[in-house]
């Protein structure tokens, strides 16, 4: 049996005193691609923030193990260094920080954690150029301040670039497909598929079957009101596309 990468047991969490995640259970093994679909406001992004340890997201019950470690005992940066990556629904702009510098900091932080020597400017640029080219990200964009004035699609490609550079064990993609044109969707999906192998796993949060046609999920979960109400194979997503959430949520 494949190694479990993420094990969530009876998780409950609150944001601003409001309970958003309610008794959630989810196990993701290496090699697996999970899709998480659910209505707006169901708590999907909240889950991604709880997993990455965002301040103000308070876990009130349950446990989470990541690659065998107690995830909740780790700081946000430690979780990232240990191989957890979140492609954010709303990436954050940081005026004054050049994209390539930011990426270099991120890559070297991970190398430091792994006991590897930091990359110098030339080595890093070589690595960056290849990965950026795959995502059709030009040199000008890399010189700009990170996410400042980036279009919706550019921001998403930048998230995937970071994923490609950091090579996580678990990549959570929170609406990585939103705002992408047809060609960009293909580039992003190719980037994700290129990363994916039997040692890592993907959790794909999306509203659209389209992305799942490019990145084939092993398991599809329907998520509503803070927990998973139904799981199945890709056909569940196809069904969902036709019928909408109502029938599933009502059946609960």
Ligand X SMILES: Nc1ncnc2c1ncn2[C@@H]1O[C@H](COP(=O)(O)OP(=O)(O)OP(=O)(O)O)[C@@H](O)[C@H]1O
Alpha-carbon distances of 213 from 30, 35, 69, 217, 248, rounded to whole Å: 21, 12, 33, 9, 22
18 counts as binding ligand X under rule CB under 6 A:
yes
Contacts of ligand X in 66-105 (CB under 6 A): 89
Cβ nearer to Mg ion, comparing 44 with 221: 44
113: helix, strand or coil:
helix
CA distance 222 to 248: 8
Helix axes 121-134, 152-166, angle to 10 degrees: 120
**Three-state secondary structure call for residue 67:** coil
- Beta strand ranges found along 16-159 (DSSP E): 18-29, 33-37, 57-66, 69-70, 84-87
User: Residue count at the site for ligand X (CB under 6 A)?
Assistant: 13
Does residue 41 bind ligand X (CB under 6 A)? Answer: yes
106 binds other proteins (CB under 8 A): yes
Query: Quick one: which of 20, 128, 160, 220 contacts ligand X (CB under 6 A)?
Result: 20
Q: Of 110 and 155, which CB lies nearer to Mg ion in the complex structure?
A: 155
117 binds, among other proteins, ligand X, Mg ion, none (CB under 5 to 8 A by kind): none
Sole binder of Mg ion in the list 12, 45, 87, 164 (CB under 5 A): 45
Dist CA 167 CA 148 (whole Å): 24
d(CA 246, CA 155): 32
What does 20 interact with, of Mg ion, other proteins, ligand X, none (CB < 5 to 8 A by kind)? Answer: ligand X
Say which entry of Mg ion, other proteins, ligand X, none residue 77 contacts (CB below 5 to 8 A, set by partner kind).
other proteins
Among 23, 76, 89, 101, binds Mg ion (CB under 5 A): 89
| Binds ligand X (CB under 6 A): choice among 43, 83, 91, 217 | 43
Pairing of strands 227-232, 219-224: antiparallel
Q: Which residues bind other proteins (CB under 8 A)?
A: 52-55, 75-77, 79-81, 86, 88, 91-92, 94-97, 102, 105-106, 109-110, 113, 162, 166
């Amino acid at each position: 049996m494949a190694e479990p990468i993420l094990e969530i047991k009876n998780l409950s969490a609150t944001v601003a005193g409001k309970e958003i995640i309610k008794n959630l259970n989810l196990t993701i093994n290496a090699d697996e691609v999970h899709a998480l679909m659910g209505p707006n406001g169901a708590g999907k992004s909240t889950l991604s923030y709880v997993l990455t340890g965002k301040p103000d997201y308070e876990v009130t019950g349950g446990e989470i193990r990541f690659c065998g470690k107690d995830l909740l005992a780790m700081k946000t940066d430690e979780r990232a260094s240990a191989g957890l990556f979140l492609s954010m629904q709303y990436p954050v702009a940081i005026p004054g920080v050049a994209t390539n510098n930011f990426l270099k900091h991120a890559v070297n932080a991970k190398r430091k954690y792994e006991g590897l020597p930091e990359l110098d400017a030339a080595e890093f640029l070589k690595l960056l150029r290849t990965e950026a080219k795959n995502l059709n990200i030009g040199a000008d964009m890399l010189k700009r301040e990170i996410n400042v004035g980036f279009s919706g699609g550019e921001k998403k490609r930048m998230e995937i670039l970071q994923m490609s550079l950091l090579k996580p064990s678990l990549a959570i993609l929170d609406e990585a497909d939103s705002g992408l044109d047809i060609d960009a969707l293909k580039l992003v999906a190719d980037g994700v598929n290129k990363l994916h192998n039997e040692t890592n796993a993907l959790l794909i949060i999306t509203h659209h079957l389209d992305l799942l046609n490019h990145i084939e999920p092993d398991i599809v979960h329907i998520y509503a009101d803070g927990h998973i109400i139904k799981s199945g194979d890709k056909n569940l997503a196809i069904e969902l596309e036709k019928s909408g959430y109502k029938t599933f949520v009502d059946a609960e």
